[in-house]
Amino acid sequence: MQKEKGVLSSILYIEDDSINREIVGMFLRDYFLVDTAADSTEALEKIHKNNYAVILLDISLCKGLNGMELAREIKKIKNYKNVPIIAVTAYALREDENRILSGGCTHYISKPFTKTVLLEKINNALAK
């Protein structure tokens, strides 16, 4: 899908649940280079060392910053001001979506989701 001159776009998935990280990794591995982080500290370390085209971010991180706080911190980093941050969350109400999108995330997807829906969301984010 997102293949440019043989180079896959790189994605960071920040999620504290190891099973979710594994499933999303399996969904995306044929289309993107997927890196993961289990908490905000690990995520910020990786963000400062790498260039990701998209960030997938769980909103309910248990350790360190929560997803909303982390999204605001990521947007402060020079190379990440325009990088899409897709909230991947169990918060599924319309007011949750509005709060998340106005709080620093550029896109939103509620759990559970299908591989197709996730790929569409990522490709839409990359196209903008």
Where are any strands of DSSP class E within 15-65?
33-37, 54-58
* Residue 99 tokens, joined: 């709060």
Where are any strands of DSSP class E within the chain?
3-4, 7-8, 10-14, 33-37, 54-58, 85-89, 107-110
Maximum Cα–Cα distance across the chain:
40
Q: How many domains does the chain fold into?
A: 1
pTM: 0.89
- Here the CATH number for the domain that contains residue 114 is 3.40.50.2300
Instruction: Note down the domain range covering 117.
Output: 3-127
Residue 3 has a pLDDT of 43
Consecutive 10-residue averages of pLDDT for the chain (128 residues): 58 96 95 96 96 95 90 94 93 82 92 94 92
Residue 7 has a pLDDT of 60
